[in-house]
């Protein structure tokens, strides 16, 4: 029966992270706490008093777009909305490469959805290798790969996941000179403070992706957006599904963007938590500098899967990917438990050696 399904889809490994009830979830780069109570009450009120369950949601949520445009310093015509930025990644591939029109390129290790979505469409995916020491990559290699593989779209997360590193100025300049669509995924912008949005005006082939899933704490509502020149933003709007954002998701994102001062005021404390975690774990782990709400680390002489399982048993979930550990910053209590759990697990091993 499965022979009617494409072999490349059958061969795919679906994106998923295991759930362990009660454990500290430091494996998905989420914000570690729920929305403030007052926000949830306001949302419940909106659901009760304003949203008509029998009606389709707005296909063009103007107030939400206006809020995003104001936040990003652009006009609403530069904004395209997606059901998570994942949907926009798919929309970009649909609008560019589908139908034998060239390849997608990124630099590994990186966010796996660039590859997974390219592969679901049968679009070739090229993964450049990053250098081991700082996860940078060579501009000439990038230029050669674009030419050799007929690359049409380059996806680069900035900062990157899982490595939490930023792109160099040299790579940005190289991208600008290439005949490709460059997608800079700024899912973690609120933590890095670095954006390429101002380049949009003079770089017609640039698309910036952002999300409400991280600093805005709305991962469960699935809202992402793209900023690009108006013509490009309109193209992305054409290939998304007609009612891609549910009414409650629109309401949640509007509430978050209009009250961003309250939500984003907590970012510095989270970054302080990252600083403390890195300082405490540095004697045991090799940790790379981070521009995000997570950090990337390796643990010499340890099999990382064994380490991950041992930490999970103690109640701290982390992600092992790209040959390293990606660890999200949690609440102060979760961070302390992680430090204690590392001490216990690594200490246990040295005792038993």
Question: What is the binding site for ligand PLP (CB under 6 A)?
Answer: 29, 84-86, 111, 157, 161, 185, 187, 211, 213, 219, 224
CB contact set of 317 (below 8 Å; sequence gap of 6+): 18, 20, 23, 24, 25, 26, 27, 311
The DSSP string of 232-267 is HHHHHHHHS-TT-S-HHHHHHHHHHHHTHHHHHTTH
The C-alpha R_g of the chain, in whole angstroms, comes to 21
In the complex, least distance from residue 97 CB atom to ligand PLP, rounded to whole angstroms? 18
Closest CA to 234 of 75, 98, 71, 58: 75
CB closer to ligand PLP, 184 vs 345: 184
Of all residues in this chain, which one has the CB nearest to ligand PLP in the complex? Answer: 84
- Rounded CA-CA distance 84/172 in Å is 25
Q: Considering beta carbons, is residue 251 or 310 the nearer one to ligand PLP? A: 251
Identify the H or E element spanning 192: helix 189-192
CB of 182 to ligand PLP, least distance (A): 15
In this complex, which beta carbon is closest to ligand PLP, that of residue 211 or of residue 244? 211
Instruction: Kindly tell me the sign of the dihedral angle through the C-alpha atoms of 284, 285, 286, 287.
Output: negative
Q: Which of 67, 59, 81 is nearest to 256 (CA)?
A: 67
| Least distance CB 152 / ligand PLP (angstroms) | 19
Closest CA to 104 of 126, 85, 82, 120: 126
Query: For residue 193, with 0-12 CB atoms within 10 Å meaning exposed, 13-18 middle and 19 or more buried, which class applies?
Result: exposed
DSSP SS3 for 272? helix
Closest distance to ligand PLP from the beta carbon of 349 (Å): 30
First-residue to last-residue Cα distance in the chain: 52
Q: How many CA atoms lie within 13 A of 129 on its CB side?
A: 4
- Residue 145 C-beta: closest distance to ligand PLP, Å: 20
Report which of 93, 196, 71 is spatially closest to residue 154, judged by C-alpha positions: 93
Q: Which residue has the tokens 């390219």?
A: 118
> For ligand PLP, which is the closer residue by CB, 43 or 117?
117
Shortest Cβ 155–ligand PLP spacing (Å): 9
Are the C-beta atoms of 325 and 297 separated by less than 8 Å? yes
Cβ atoms of 214 and 190 closer than 8 Å: yes
Q: Which is nearer to ligand PLP, 41 or 220 (CB)?
A: 220
C-beta of 300: minimal distance to ligand PLP in Å? 26
Find the length of the chain: 353
Nearer to ligand PLP, 174 or 321 (CB): 321
Contact 93, 282 (CB under 8 A): no
Closest separation in Å from C-beta 33 to ligand PLP: 17
Residue placing its CB nearer to ligand PLP in the complex, 108 or 185: 185
228 vs 345 by CB, closer to ligand PLP: 228
Minimum CB separation of residue 294 from ligand PLP in Å reads 9
């Amino acid at each position: 029966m499965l022979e009617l399904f494409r072999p490349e889809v059958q061969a795919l490994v679906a994106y998923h992270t295991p759930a362990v009830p009660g454990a500290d979830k430091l494996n998905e780069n989420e914000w570690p706490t729920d929305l403030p109570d007052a926000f949830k009450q306001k949302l419940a009120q909106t659901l009760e008093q304003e949203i008509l369950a029998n009606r389709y949601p707005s296909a063009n949520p103007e107030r939400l777009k206006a809020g995003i445009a104001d936040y990003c310093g652009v006009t609403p015509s530069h904004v395209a909305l997606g059901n998570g930025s994942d949907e926009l990644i798919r929309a970009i591939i649909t609008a560019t490469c589908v139908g034998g029109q060239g390849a997608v390129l990124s630099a590994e290790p990186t966010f796996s959805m660039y590859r997974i979505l390219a592969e679901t469409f049968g679009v070739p995916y090229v993964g450049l290798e990053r250098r081991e020491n700082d996860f940078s990559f060579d501009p000439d290699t990038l230029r050669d790969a674009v030419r050799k593989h007929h690359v049409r779209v380059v996806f680069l997360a900035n900062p990157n996941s899982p490595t939490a590193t930023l792109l160099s100025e040299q790579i940005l300049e190289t991208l600008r000179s290439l005949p490709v669509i460059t997608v800079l995924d700024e899912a973690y912008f609120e933590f890095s403070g670095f954006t390429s949005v101002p380049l949009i005006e003079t770089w017609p082939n640039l698309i910036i992706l952002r999300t409400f899933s991280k600093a805005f704490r709305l991962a469960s509502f699935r809202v992402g957006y793209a900023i690009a020149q108006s013509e490009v933003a309109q193209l992305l709007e054409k290939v998304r599904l007609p009612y891609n954002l549910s009414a409650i998701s629109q309401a949640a994102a509007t509430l978050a963007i209009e009250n961003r001062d309250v939500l984003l005021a907590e970012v510095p404390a989270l970054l302080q938590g990252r600083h403390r975690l890195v300082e405490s774990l540095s004697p045991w782990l090799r940790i790379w500098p981070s521009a995000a709400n997570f950090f990337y680390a390796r643990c010499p002489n340890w099999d990382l899967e064994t380490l991950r399982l041992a930490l999970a048993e103690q109640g701290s979930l982390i992600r092992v990917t790209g040959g390293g550990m990606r660890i999200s910053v949690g609440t102060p209590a979760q961070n302390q438990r992680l430090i204690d759990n590392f001490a216990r697990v690594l200490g246990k091993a040295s005792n038993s050696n």
